[in-house]
Structure formats: C-alpha cells, structure tokens
Structure 1
Amino acid sequence: MSNPEQYDFVALGGGEAAKLLAWDLASNHGKKCAVIEHGPIAGACPTVACMPTKTLIHSAQLAHLARQVPASAPGTARADIKTDMAKVFTRKQDVVDGMADLFLGIFAETKAELIRGHGELVGPKTISCNGRLLTGETVLINTGSKALVDTSIPGLANAKPLTHVELLNIKTLPTHLIILGGGYVGIEFAQAYVRFGARVTVIERNAQVLKKEDSDVISALTKILAREGVEFLTSTSVTKVSGTSGDEVVLTLSGPGGPSEIIRGSHLLVSAGRTPNTSGIGLAEAGIQLSPAGHVAVDEQLRTSVPGVFAAGDCAGSPYFTHIGWDDHRVILASLTGSPREGGTANRQVPSTLFTSPELAHVGLREEEAKARGIPYRLTKAPMAAFLRSRALGETEGFAKALVEADGDKVLGFTALGPGAGELLPAVQLVMKLGLSYKELVDLIIVHPTMCEGLVDLFRSVPPRTG
C-alpha cells in the first residue's frame, strides 16, 4: 500500500457535519479536504431519510386532501381516488436525485474531494480506502446510524422486515402495513400509508407512542390518527414472527388482549430504534473509545479520545436530528478556527418536529418532565382554534402550550400540535436562547393571519406569578 496522502481534513462518513466542514474548510480556509462515503452521495438525510420521507408525506397529504373534494353532491368525499405508488416513488426519487446533483456540484465548486468507497481507520489519524491511505491533521468520524432490528425476537430477522430505507423504495401499496415501534419514523409512515389507502397497525411496547411526549399531546394526536384509520396496539410486545414481509407476515403478540394474540399483514416495517454505525471501521485499531451505548465517546467539543480526531452526529450520540448534525459542524468548526464555542454541545436547544398532519413541534422542557424533576412553572395553554390561521385552513384540532418560570418570566418549554407547528418554533427559540421575557413575544406585531400570530394570545395568557 502506498505512503499516506496528506490532508488537512479527512472525514470518514459523509453525514451532515462532514460535508459542511469539508466545504467550509476548503472554500473559506484553503484547506485540503476529503470526505469518504460508501453509501448515498448526499448522506442519509437527503437520500434515505428526511427529504424523501417528507416528500412521501406530502404526496400522502395531497391524496388525503383530494378525497375531501366533493364528488357530485356537496359534502360528499371522494373515496374513489386511488394512489399510484409508482408515481409517488418517481416523485420521491426525483427529489433525491436533485439533492445528489446539488451536493456533487458543491463538492466540485469547493474542490473538497469526495471519495466513494468503504473507509477504515488503520491508525489514530489514518484511513484506508480503495487501496489508498489518507492521513489528516484533523479527522472526523461521521458515519451515522442504522435501524435496529431486534434479533432476540424469534423469526423477526428471517421475515426480512423493511426499514425506512426499503419502505421508501417499494412501488406497490401494502394491503396491511404493520409497524413495530411508535417513534417518529413509525408515526410519520403510519399516517402517510393510511392516507395512501393501506391498512396500518402500529405496535408499541410502551403505554403510549412517542413515549417522551406529554400524555395530553399524544392523546390528542393519536385520536386524530385513529380517526383516519391508524390502529394502535400499545403496551404490546412481539413474541414471534413468521412469514416474509412483502408476502405475508404473522406476528404473535403479548399485550392487553392476552399472551398469544395473532395479527397478520402484508408488509412489516421495523422502526423501534437505531444503533450507531461504529463497527467495522477500525475504531479500536485507532485507539478511539466507545461509550457504553456503543457511540463514539466525545466531550462537549466533540473531541474523541485521540487528539485531532472528532466525531459528530448519530455515531457520536448527538440527538438523532439532521439539524443537530448541522450544529455539530459549527461546534467543530469553531474549535478548528480558534474560537471554541463556550460549553460546546452542552445545554444547547434541541428543537423537534414530527411531520404528521397536524405537526407536533417542541423545544425545551416538557410539562411531565418538569413535574418529575420538581421544577415549578406557570402553564399557558390555548386550543389551536385560537390560532386564527388554523380556521382559514380548516385544521383547528390540537393545541399549544408553554411553560414559564414560576418566579420569573423566562420560557422553559413550548409544545404545539397544529398545522405547520414547526414554523412556530424559531420565534420561541430565540426568546429562550437570549433569556428574554415571554412578554417580548406578546409585544411583537405579527402579520395577520399567520400561525405565529397565535403566539401573542398564548403568551398573553400566562398566569400571574404566585409569589
């Protein structure tokens, strides 16, 4: 094997942080950069996760709306509209291909090198790939995560279940899609596929789906999804699987209905968690330590146990969101350019949005979490109908709520279940980030009728301090 090629920056894995760091360091700092990626050119989010999923969800929303259009008589829904999944796939693939072309263009423009192939660390800062040896002054591990298939469930692996990757690529509509796991992925796909016309059942071992969310939020959301046709089996575990996904699968369940309930479906989607991609890439050979959960162990600046080697994104145990990967890149870039962010990743905001209809958006402290931790708060809550834009959209189900300090005016947390709820987050986030009073939101002049306008009434209703 040849002598190592010298680079200023080499990334093993082409996730969000890797691409952004390589592009920035190459174009703005004149660094010689390379990104090694054996999977999708653009990384997971644009090709097998966020973007294609949201594209599919949009197609499902259009199908749902089309069925609400009167056929021959006023108020008559059109049940005759069918979904052409081949065209849904084609539209999804067009978006994915466009993202790949976009990123290839940025690699060419910035002159950061994209190396296609499997990379493996053979030393602390040296990577082998395609017969080449690359060494970097700075090395980043950004290999992401993959769907977890619980091999302890008899027959599950042999049933060849789908993960989100395979489900995005099927061109026929399942007659009955069974989803193992009621997390973000499972719930978004559940609504999308029931809107396409499939029967959908979600099996969740916990007492509720989205187990970290407040129970009042999940109660409202699941009622909406159940009315659309999504079936929920909570406090239920799978004890055995037989058959093959895509043909017929038979699941034996243990839950409230008894220890041997049987459910049959045409397709099986596993969305019961993720595991970091940290095996088979030479971490031990490089002296890089792992956390007890199998992530690359990092400090608040995302530095590993080896000087000059960083890790970011899912494989480093950062919250599993693309926007957190974006922030990871900023933390590392600040260190590499001589101005480390104070505190690094500690105490940063972790906003989230579930892209169902209605959307579920959240940032900060949840109400049940505050109660469990004994944190006093003032609660303000408003029905989504008070957000006047929702009336114009005809989507008034849901609500918004916020937690404010009991003895101060800072916002501790915010949750909204409503149309476009994710778009409400930035205004609240900014107030929280700057440590401002919630009254700053009350005093804003917000365009009417927009969804954000409802924030004024929500925060105007904060109860007075008790002390």
Structure 2
Amino acid sequence: MSNKTIELSITGMTCNGCSSHIEKDIKKTVGIVDSSVNHITGKGDFTIDTDKIEKEELINAVNNIGNYSVTNNLEKEDCCSSNSDTIIQKESSNEKHQFDLIVIGGGSAAFSAAIKAEGLGLNTLMVNGGLDFGGTCVNVGCVPSKNLIRAAETAYHATHSNFKGVKPKGVDIDFKQIIKDKKELVSALQQQKYLDVVSDFENLTMLQGWAEFVNRNSIIVDGGKRYTATNIVIATGATTNIPRIEGLNDVGYLTNVSLFDLEEKPESLTIMGAGYIGLEIAQAYSRLGVKVRIIEFTDRPLRSQTIDITDVLAEQLKSEGIEILPNFRAFKFEKKGNHTIIHCNCPDGSTTQIIEKGHIVVATGTKPNTSKLGLNNIDLKLSEKGHVLVNEKMETNISNIYAAGDATNTPPFVYTAATEGNTAINNAFTLLKSSVDYSSLPWVVFTDPQIAGAGMDELEAEKAGIPFEVSKLDLIHVPRALAAQDTRGFIKLIRNTETDKLIGARIIASEGGELIQQLSMAIKFGITIKDLAQSFYPYLTLGEGIKLAAITFGKDVSKLSCCAS
C-alpha cells in the first residue's frame, strides 16, 4: 500500500456541519484512508491509497458531495509517500451568473423555495448572509431554545413534585454539558434537515454572502459579482430589534444568538422584554439555576394575550422566583466595575436604579432583515417596520419579486415560512396559483404551562363584529389534570352563535400545545361545537378537556359524572 496525503482548498463550506458532511461522505469512496476537513480555513487533508484511487478521482469525489468545490490541491508526502508534486485546479472561467430563480436567504422559507424549485427543474441560486444555512429556527431559535427548555424542565421536576408522597432529592446540573449537547443537536439538525436535504440537488447553487439588488432582476453579492434571474424570492428572516437606549451598546448585552452559546452558567440575567422569546428564556434559565429578572415596558407579560392567560403565567413565573417588573422602562445603561446599572422609569413616575451582576439579555421583539438589500433601487414596498409587504400569494408590488418568512408582514413562524416559500415558487413558475390562509393558524408559547391558540380570541371576534360566545373550562374539571395533580390553567373555546362553528381557541396548560392542532383543524373545516361535544375522547387524557369545554356551552360540567356527554 502506498499512502499519500493531499491538501485540498474547498469552497462552499459555511459551518462545522459542512466539514463533517465531507468527512462522512468521502468515506464511501474506495481508497480514502483518512480525512480531516476544516470549514474555517477552507482546507481538507485527505490520505489516499494510490493503488486504489488517483488524485483526480479524489477531487471528483469531493466535488460530487453537496455543493462543495475543490479550487486547487497541494500534495504532501507522508511516511509512506513516494513522491510530491503540485496540481492547481483554477476556478472555472464559465461560472454561472444567469438563473431561473434567485433565493435570498438560507432559512426555512429559503430552503422550502429551493426544494420546490428543484422539483420544477429550475436553475436556482441561494445567497445567504448572516446566520449559517438553516436560519433562525435551527441555529438560534426553535431548536436550541426548546432543547434548553426540556433540559430545564427535567431539572425542575427533579426538585418539585405535585404529589405529597413523592419527595424529590434534588438535581446536579452540568450547565456546560447542557450547552455542548445543545450545540451538537443544532449542528446535527442543520446538517440532516437542511444541507443533506439539498446535497444531491442538480440545479441548486449555494453562495455565502450579502445580496443587494441592482434592479428587479439582478443582485450583486458582497459588492462584487452580479447575478441575474427571471424571478427572485426574498427570504432573509429577522433578527432581534435592539432598542435605542443610552449606553446599551456600551455594556455588552446578549440576545438569544449569543446567550445560547454561553458555556459558563451566568450568575444572573436581566431580560429586557416579556414577549414569548423573553419568557421562554427566563423560565428555562431560572430552572437551570440562574437568578432571573424581567423588565417589561407594558402592564404585563405576553401583552398580546388576554389578561386571564397572562395572570396564570405570571403567577407561575413568580412562584419559581422570577422577578417581573411591569410598566418599567429603561432609559439608560452604564457599567460600574463588573456590574451594569439600569436606570428605569417606574410605574408611579419615579426613577430607580437596578443593579445587574450578570448579563443583560435583549428580547424586545424582532425586526426584518431588509435594510441591506438595496430595496431603494427597486422601489419595493415595505411596512413601517421594514417588513416586505406581500399578499396571500406571496407577491410583492413588483411582479417578478416574491417574499416569504419573517422578512414579510406575515405570522413569524417556521412552519408558515416553509409554506410561504413553497407558495412563492408555485405562483412564480406555475399556472396553479395558490394562497396561504392563516385563519386557523395554530401557535404555541413553550413556557410551563404552555400557551396555545388558533383562530380568534374573544377580543378579535368582537372587533370583527362576529356574534360569539365563550366557554372557559378550568382544568380542575378535567380528570386527567386532577390525576396528574396539575390543574394550572384552562381551555377556552369561542364559537359563532349563528352557525355553532368553532372560530377560535386558547389553552394554557401543561403540554397544552399538544391539543391545539385538533382545534385548528376544527376551525379550518367548519366543525361545530356540537360535533366536538359528541365526539369520542380517550379517558383519561387532557384532550378530553376539549369535549368538556364544548359541553360547557350548554351544561355545568361540575354536575356531570366522568365520561358523561
């Protein structure tokens, strides 16, 4: 056997998952003895058995993995090598610049668009700047946050019991290991659910960089090369909206992007904002042993929901030792030694100073990533907050430009983004036009208890002028909740009194998110309250609460026996 190590320069790598992808797939090639790839340096060292594989075959093998490309290679003689020479493979002079489709972005909406485009045989360029391919959800949003929430929930239940006869003895939290496991999960899912999915696409070119419009058909990337397409989809996502407060930029704040990568457990956190992102972070880190405070400039957490929901949630958070300061507005930050001083206006009109020994976390909503796109060059219409304005077909005011995901004025969820990306391509390139209907859209806030909804709440129904009635069932009337000794929360149904059809639902309960899809489907397909009340539900399940809530429109469930109808 004659071994030789060849160093290759490889383009197209954007993260650790890319290098792992190449190392894994190259093993399928006969004659590869060992490989080590580094996405940061863009280099790969490959040891080959020259009796089984030629260097040109190695280069072809790498080029056939995903969207990676060898630009040159330099052989190294190792202990078993017999010679050493140099081969240069120059960048192709006929690099493609004309496409059917350009997708700007690299998250859920962008990948959904690319997948649909590949199915239609479209030559597609995906240009992604900012976060790694996969976007917010897998890198810094849904995946890492829910992983940390579950870890924190495990720790919490190791120290808290709903049963008098069960006395937990505590928990040993290895915070650094939790974060390392989170990073491994993110890397694995980014590879499996994004990069691997498109690795064998014949018509997709992926490019890392910032895109800027030149005109309605053309972009330049990082101020350099120009690319042109028949249609363009904007799917650039959103990022944390940093408020303009004196001194904030000087004190070293964190967002979910940077917080989730801290391997040393913070002593404490002051979270600016009590929306769903701030609340999920607050409860997770509190349960992992961090002292947490929330500053909210409105009157209560999760102000978008009715007060009966937020009252239940606020009570739970406070019971876990989380300090909530509603109607407080920070107007100045300053650093004193290792501490941060937060100057706030109080509800009574006075001012106060809050000392934070740990970190400031900004969770004051999001803003669309549209400011760097050069949209002034094409007169694309935006909302006041910078979202791309689209209709139900994902069309903008420019006929060949579509948009999808968090960069638009649509609901900001990963699953809506995926549908929107697919819809945009369908409407841009086929005659089978489609629209996105959000009227039964389900959503979940992953606090404990969880908050879930679909359709309208009572305030929205009243504003729309719909005749409605509300049924609200406290979980103390649900046998499953009683058996679990966890009766926090309620199930609320809203019906149209003229049609008896369900038009909305809100749930706050442990694992309440698992119930909302059924209610979303009921709204979508016009199911009546009578249908819900007369359906079969397994006993004992939390889902039985839906039946009981439906019965409550006409009966007092406290006077019914178990399994009654």
TM-score (normalised: structure 1): 0.91
- Aligned partners of 1:4 and 1:132 also within 8 Å: no
- Quick one: which of 261, 272, 275 aligns to 2:367? 275
Partner of 1:217: 309
Partner of 1:141: 234
Partner of 1:49: 141
- Quick one: which of 103, 108, 119 aligns to 1:16? 108
Partner of 2:117: 25
Matched, 1:239 2:307: no
Question: For 1:9 and 1:119, how far apart are their aligned partners in 2?
Answer: 14
Partner of 1:105: 196
Q: Which has the higher contact order (CA 8 A, sep 6+)?
A: 1
Matched, 1:290 2:290: no
- Quick one: which of 215, 220, 225 aligns to 1:132? 225
Matched, 1:92 2:185: no
Question: For 1:382 and 1:69, how far apart are their aligned partners in 2?
Answer: 24
Matches within 5 A, 1:401-416: 401-416=492-507
Q: Deviations over 1:74-95 (max 9, x none)?
A: 654435x342221111111111
Question: For 1:136 and 1:395, how far apart are their aligned partners in 2?
Answer: 56
Question: For 2:539 and 2:448, how far apart are their aligned partners in 1?
Answer: 22
- Quick one: which of 278, 300, 318 aligns to 2:410? 318
- Quick one: which of 527, 544, 547 aligns to 1:453? 544
Kindly tell me: are residues 389 and 32 of structure 1, through their superposed partners in 2, closer, same or farther at Cα, counting changes over 3 Å?
A: farther
Q: Deviations over 1:399-449 (max 9, x none)?
A: 111111122211121001112111111111111111221222223223333
Q: Deviations over 1:150-170 (max 9, x none)?
A: 12x211121121111111111
Secondary structure of 2:230 counterpart: strand
- Quick one: which of 385, 394, 411 aligns to 2:476? 385
- Quick one: which of 325, 338, 342 aligns to 2:431? 338
Secondary structure of 1:284 counterpart: helix
Kindly tell me: are residues 290 and 258 of structure 1, through their superposed partners in 2, closer, same or farther at Cα, counting changes over 3 Å?
A: closer
Partner of 2:151: 59
Identity of aligned residues (%): 27
Question: For 1:239 and 1:16, how far apart are their aligned partners in 2?
Answer: 36
Question: For 2:128 and 2:339, how far apart are their aligned partners in 1?
Answer: 35
- Aligned partners of 2:112 and 2:419 also within 8 Å: no
Secondary structure of 2:546 counterpart: helix
- Aligned partners of 2:116 and 2:422 also within 8 Å: no
Instruction: Tell me which moved more, 322-331 or 1-10.
Output: 1-10
Question: For 2:142 and 2:414, how far apart are their aligned partners in 1?
Answer: 8
Instruction: Tell me which moved more, 182-191 or 31-40.
Output: 31-40
Question: For 1:244 and 1:298, how far apart are their aligned partners in 2?
Answer: 47
- Quick one: which of 282, 291, 305 aligns to 1:199? 291
Q: Deviations over 1:103-151 (max 9, x none)?
A: 1111113333322222222221212226433222221001111111112
Secondary structure of 1:264 counterpart: strand
- Aligned partners of 1:69 and 1:78 also within 8 Å: no
Question: For 2:227 and 2:483, how far apart are their aligned partners in 1?
Answer: 58
Report the structure number with the largest CA radius of gyration: 2
- Aligned partners of 1:125 and 1:286 also within 8 Å: no
- Aligned partners of 1:359 and 1:422 also within 8 Å: yes
Matches within 5 A, 1:364-375: 364-371=455-462, 375=466
Kindly tell me: are residues 347 and 170 of structure 1, through their superposed partners in 2, closer, same or farther at Cα, counting changes over 3 Å?
A: closer
Instruction: Tell me which moved more, 59-68 or 433-442.
Output: 433-442
**Letter of the structure 1 residue corresponding to residue 396 of structure 2:** T
**Letter of the structure 1 residue corresponding to residue 305 of structure 2:** E
- Aligned partners of 1:68 and 1:78 also within 8 Å: no
Q: Structure 1: give runs of 5+ residues left out of the alignment.
A: none
How far off its partner does 1:371 sit?
4.3
- Aligned partners of 1:380 and 1:463 also within 8 Å: no
How far off its partner does 1:244 sit?
8.0
Partner of 1:181: 273
Kindly tell me: are residues 350 and 255 of structure 1, through their superposed partners in 2, closer, same or farther at Cα, counting changes over 3 Å?
A: farther
Matched, 1:299 2:424: no
Secondary structure of 1:360 counterpart: strand
Question: For 2:321 and 2:187, how far apart are their aligned partners in 1?
Answer: 32
Kindly tell me: are residues 255 and 375 of structure 1, through their superposed partners in 2, closer, same or farther at Cα, counting changes over 3 Å?
A: farther
TM-score (normalised: structure 2): 0.76
Matches within 5 A, 1:238-257: 238-243=330-335, 247-256=338-347
Partner of 2:439: 348
- Aligned partners of 2:159 and 2:168 also within 8 Å: yes
**Letter of the structure 1 residue corresponding to residue 351 of structure 2:** S
Q: Deviations over 1:171-218 (max 9, x none)?
A: 122222111111010000111111011111111111111111010111
Kindly tell me: are residues 373 and 308 of structure 1, through their superposed partners in 2, closer, same or farther at Cα, counting changes over 3 Å?
A: closer
- Aligned partners of 2:442 and 2:517 also within 8 Å: no
Question: For 2:360 and 2:480, how far apart are their aligned partners in 1?
Answer: 38
How far off its partner does 1:241 sit?
1.0
Kindly tell me: are residues 29 and 202 of structure 1, through their superposed partners in 2, closer, same or farther at Cα, counting changes over 3 Å?
A: same
Kindly tell me: are residues 109 and 438 of structure 1, through their superposed partners in 2, closer, same or farther at Cα, counting changes over 3 Å?
A: farther
C-alpha RMSD of matched pairs (Å): 2.3
Question: For 2:236 and 2:440, how far apart are their aligned partners in 1?
Answer: 23
Secondary structure of 2:520 counterpart: helix
How far off its partner does 1:374 sit?
5.2
Matched, 1:463 2:463: no
Question: For 1:427 and 1:463, how far apart are their aligned partners in 2?
Answer: 21
Question: For 2:310 and 2:424, how far apart are their aligned partners in 1?
Answer: 36
How far off its partner does 1:236 sit?
1.1
* Count of residue pairs brought into register by the alignment: 456
How far off its partner does 1:305 sit?
2.4
- Aligned partners of 2:212 and 2:220 also within 8 Å: yes
Kindly tell me: are residues 304 and 447 of structure 1, through their superposed partners in 2, closer, same or farther at Cα, counting changes over 3 Å?
A: same
Q: Structure 2: give runs of 5+ residues left out of the alignment.
A: 1-92, 556-565
Matched, 1:399 2:490: yes
- Quick one: which of 174, 187, 207 aligns to 1:115? 207
Question: For 1:180 and 1:150, how far apart are their aligned partners in 2?
Answer: 10
Question: For 1:5 and 1:279, how far apart are their aligned partners in 2?
Answer: 24
Question: For 1:125 and 1:174, how far apart are their aligned partners in 2?
Answer: 48
Partner of 1:421: 512
- Aligned partners of 1:378 and 1:463 also within 8 Å: no
